[in-house]
């Protein structure tokens, strides 16, 4: 287990280094950062001053190292819009984004997993078909289309819910439902197939043959084994949730990190874009690391494998 | 096609016989698949014949007929799907958008497959340090949501159609790389590969002529699975105003501009939204069907 943890930690570290390197390379490849950030018609003295201030007159490997140092001391430059610290600009948007993503994630798990398990246990019934139709629709319908259909029905036609802004908790309902549905559909599909696979295994037949009640078989044996692939998918889903937030926040004019990213990209506010990309990447790496650990804890095979490897 | 062993489809058969076999297979498809394949054929025809069937040039404005309703909402047949805020014909724009979106998705899928397969083969051929680098790159692309990565690149490099297609091409490359590497490693261990190698074939010939055909069916299935994802990505980015730029138009782009007129002219957004959803649905249905036939081991 310790060995397993060690390799995972190493991989996570390598991912972090690669993300930082990627941002560094993209930033340098996109042209002279001084000109990019100051604008093409900035006076040459100002550009030179910027170069010295940011160490752009140093050799490239010195710049690379100081880039690392700056990132880990939380200094990512200033937002071009208002000259404030880029990290602060991003951090103040985080609570708004969490207010959408956390309930959406709970909806994903709370609807997706039970729906998938139920569909698998009642295969080929009407409810199973319904769950599958919803799951496939959830995949094929991008979140911005679902979002706009919801706005069309609940804001424009019925007038029940606001379509944009952040004035009250009512504003959060449509974005949360949009993000919740897509993820729930995906999770239901995966849980169903994971469950079906487990239910077809011989140990399930053995468990029911030895006289265990069906609910005990499902709860004690099937669910625990189906949980293993499902946890992996949940790890991947976090990425989808972040990407979903980018789109959904833009549709509903919700002042979160996702909308900030889109606005900053259109304004080419590079310091803020860089801060957001790094923050998301670090969150994702951390989340995947946690999923890997959970995976190791859930799957007894993983532990016996490492034990066998040591013996 | 899949039921006929490839040897029977060899040199002796004429094109007509093959076409007949294909038609017979087509007739045997389940109803849902039949509908999906028909819809995709229709979309493909629309994309290819776009210039011939379009009722108006897609940028032509008609300021007297702004925001006129489509036929099913009480409009007339001059503009069957209505017009937008500048009086441009929605049907014509839809046709142009279908062509643009399909073209981008085709281009990006092929770029992704070529990059992924090449890197996968390189990893399988050299093993060791180079393989570790490729695997680290695979880990890296799995770590960041692609949409965020794409947004970052667009922010730094600005936007052009070529860059946009190449960028979308990077989507899912890691999947092909993983598949190509795994299959090439197991292929290398088999007799045919050793034989070709002993005969003096170069690695290029070995991978291109012998290993690639052997793993083609798995790759084609992954391509059909990645294709709808690229359509959805393209439409998402264009919807945010960061993908295809006006005067060009794409399906996501139309939905994005239609958003402004959601309450007064929902048809601007509904038509492309319908096409995006149905097309993605049909491709993934066909992809699932292909997967079950060609390679049931793939998840």
Q: How far is B242 from chain A (nearest CA, A)?
A: 7
The predicted structure's pLDDT at residue B8: 44
Is B273 in Cβ contact with A148 (below 8 Å)? Answer: yes
Best CA proximity match to B254, nearest among B284, B233, B275, B230: B275
DSSP A155: I
> Measured in whole angstroms, how far is the alpha carbon of residue A118 from the centre of its chain?
26
What pTM was computed for the model?
0.78
pLDDT on residue B149: 82
- Alpha carbon of A211: minimum distance to chain B alpha carbons (Å): 33
The per-residue pLDDT of chain A, averaged, comes to 79
The CA distance from A47 to A63, in Å, is: 17
Phi, psi for B89 (deg, rounded to 5) = -70, 120
What mean pLDDT is predicted for residues A176-192? 86
The tens digit of pLDDT for each residue in A200-256 reads 778 878 887 887 777 777 787 788 778 777 777 777 777 778 888 888 888 888 888
B138 has pLDDT over 50: yes
pLDDT tens figures, A214-223: 777 778 778 8
The predicted pLDDT at position B63 comes to: 73
Confidence tier at B114 by pLDDT (50, 70, 90) = very high
What ipTM goes with this model?
A: 0.74
Residue pairs between chains A and B whose CB atoms are closer than 8 Å:
133
Per-residue pLDDT band for B3 (boundaries 50, 70, 90) equals very low
User: Which chain A residues contact residue B158 at CB under 8 A?
Assistant: 268
Contact B112, B170 (CB under 8 A): yes
Q: Name the residue among A141, A240, A274 with its Cβ closest to that of B145.
A: A240
pLDDT surpassing 70 at residue A32: no
The reported pLDDT for the residue numbered A52 is: 74
Q: Do B193 and B210 touch, CB atoms closer than 8 A?
A: yes
* CATH of B94-298 given 3.40.50.970, 1.10.1040.10, 3.30.70.930, 1.10.3720.10: 1.10.3720.10
Mean pLDDT of A27-45: 67
Q: pLDDT grade, residue B111 (50/70/90)?
A: very high
- Residue ranges of alpha helices (H) inside A76-221 are 86-91, 94-121, 126-140, 143-150, 170-199, 202-209, 214-216
Given this model, what pLDDT does residue A301 score?
A: 64
SS3 content of chain B, % helix, strand, coil (to 5): 70, 0, 25
Cα gap A252→A170, rounded to integer Å: 12
| pLDDT given at position B115 | 92
Task: Give pLDDT tens digits for B181-211.
Answer: 888 888 777 777 778 878 887 888 888 788 8
Helix axes A270-298, B128-143, angle to 10 degrees: 110
For residues A198 and A226, is the Cβ–Cβ distance under 8 A?
yes
Report whether pLDDT(A20) > 70.
yes
Q: Where are the domains of chain B?
A: 94-298
- Distance (Å, whole) CA A125 – CA A130: 9
d(CA A293, CA B77): 61
The answer to whether residue B92 scores a pLDDT higher than 80 is yes
How far B248 CA lies from chain A's nearest CA (Å)? Answer: 18
Interatomic CA distance for residues A132 and B100, integer angstroms: 31
pLDDT at residue B134 tops 60: yes
Q: Quick one: pLDDT band at residue B261, thresholds 50, 70, 90? A: confident
Q: Quick check: A247 and B236 CB within 8 A?
A: yes
Q: At what angle do helices B251-258 and B90-126 cross, to 10 degrees?
A: 130
Domains and CATH numbers, chain A: 2-73 (no CATH), 94-310 (1.10.3720.10)
For B178, the token pair is 């993983």
If you average pLDDT over residues B252-263, what whole number do you get?
83
In this predicted model, which residue has the larger pLDDT, A36 or A269?
A269
Give dist(CA A45, CA A42) in Å, integer.
Answer: 8
pLDDT-based confidence at residue A165 (cuts at 50, 70, 90): confident
Instruction: List the one residue out of B218, B219, B222 whose CA is nearest residue B287.
Output: B222
- Chosen from B148, B234, B276 to mutate, greatest number of chain A CBs within 10 A: B148
B250-260 mean pLDDT:
85
Residue A273 and residue B155: Cβ atoms within 8 Å? yes
d(CA B112, CA B119): 11
User: What integer pLDDT is reported at residue A38 of this predicted model?
Assistant: 63
Q: What is d(CA B181, CA B12) in angstroms, rounded to the nearest whole number?
A: 34
pLDDT of A300 strictly over 70: no
Percent of chain A with pLDDT over 70: 89
Which tens digits make up the pLDDT trace of B163-175? 888 888 888 888 8
- Kindly provide the b/e burial profile for residues B139-166, where b requires at least 16 CB atoms within 10 angstroms of the residue's own CB: bbbbbbbbbbbbbbbbbbeebeeeebbb
Query: Are B117 and B174 contacting, i.e. CB atoms less than 8 angstroms apart?
Result: no
Alpha carbons B295 and B299: distance in angstroms, whole number: 9
């Amino acid at each position: 287990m310790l060995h397993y943890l060690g390799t995972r930690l190493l991989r996570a570290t390598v991912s972090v280094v690669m993300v930082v390197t990627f941002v560094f390379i993209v930033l340098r490849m996109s042209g002279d950062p001084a000109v990019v950030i100051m604008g093409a018609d900035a006076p040459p003295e100002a550009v030179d001053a910027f170069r010295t201030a940011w160490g752009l007159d140093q050799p490239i490997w010195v710049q690379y190292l100081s880039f690392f140092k700056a990132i880990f001391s939380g200094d990512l430059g200033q937002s071009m819009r208002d000259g404030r610290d880029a990290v602060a600009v991003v951090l103040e948007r985080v609570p708004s984004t969490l207010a959408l993503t956390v309930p959406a994630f709970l909806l994903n798990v709370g609807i997706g997993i039970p729906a998938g398990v139920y569909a698998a246990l009642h295969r080929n019934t009407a409810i199973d078909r319904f769950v599958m139709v919803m799951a496939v629709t959830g995949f094929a319908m991008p979140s911005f289309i679902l979002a706009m259909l919801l706005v069309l029905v609940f804001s424009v036609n019925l007038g029940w819910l606001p379509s944009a802004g952040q004035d009250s908790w009512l504003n959060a309902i449509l974005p949360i439902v949009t993000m919740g549905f897509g993820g729930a559909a995906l999770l239901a599909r995966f849980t169903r197939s994971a469950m079906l696979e487990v239910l077809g295994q011989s140990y399930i037949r053995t468990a029911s043959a030895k006289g265990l009640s069906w609910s005990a078989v499902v709860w004690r044996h099937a669910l625990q084994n189906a949980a293993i692939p499902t946890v992996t998918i949940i790890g991947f889903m976090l990425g989808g949730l972040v990407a979903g937030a980018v789109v959904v926040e833009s549709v509903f004019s919700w002042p979160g990190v996702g909308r900030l990213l889109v606005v900053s990209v259109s304004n080419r506010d590079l310091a803020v874009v860089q801060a957001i990309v790094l923050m998301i990447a670090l969150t994702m790496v951390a989340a995947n690391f946690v999923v890997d650990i959970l995976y190791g804890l859930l799957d007894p095979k993983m532990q016996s494998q490492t034990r066998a490897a040591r013996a | 096609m899949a039921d006929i062993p490839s040897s029977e489809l060899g040199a002796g058969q004429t094109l007509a016989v093959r076409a007949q076999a294909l038609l017979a297979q087509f007739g045997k498809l389940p109803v849902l698949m039949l509908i999906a394949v028909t819809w995709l054929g229709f979309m493909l025809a629309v994309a290819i014949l776009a210039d011939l069937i379009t009722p108006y040039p897609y940028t032509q404005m008609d300021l007297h007929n702004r925001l006129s309703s489509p036929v099913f909402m009480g409009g007339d047949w001059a503009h069957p799907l209505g017009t937008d805020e500048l009086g441009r014909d929605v049907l014509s724009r839809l046709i142009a958008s279908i062509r643009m979106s399909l073209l981008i998705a085709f281009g990006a899928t092929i770029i992704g497959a070529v990059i992924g397969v090449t890197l996968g083969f390189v990893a399988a051929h050299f093993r060791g340090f180079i393989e570790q680098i490729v695997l680290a790159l695979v880990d890296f692309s799995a770590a960041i949501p692609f949409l965020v990565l794409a947004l970052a690149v667009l922010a730094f490099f600005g936007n052009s159609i070529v860059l946009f297609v190449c960028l979308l091409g990077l989507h899912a490359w890691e999947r092909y790389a993983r598949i190509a590497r795994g299959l090439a490693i197991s292929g290398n261990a088999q007799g045919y590969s050793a034989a070709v190698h002993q005969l003096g074939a170069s690695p290029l010939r070995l991978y291109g002529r012998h290993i690639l055909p052997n793993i083609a069916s798995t790759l084609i299935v992954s391509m059909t699975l990645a294709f709808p994802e690229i359509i959805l990505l393209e439409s998402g980015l264009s919807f945010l105003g960061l993908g295809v730029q006006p005067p060009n138009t794409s399906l996501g782009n139309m939905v994005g501009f239609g958003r402004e007129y959601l309450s007064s002219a929902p048809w601007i957004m509904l038509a492309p939204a319908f096409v995006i959803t149905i097309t993605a649905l049909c491709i993934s249905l066909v992809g699932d069907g292909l997967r079950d036939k060609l390679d049931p081991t793939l998840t």
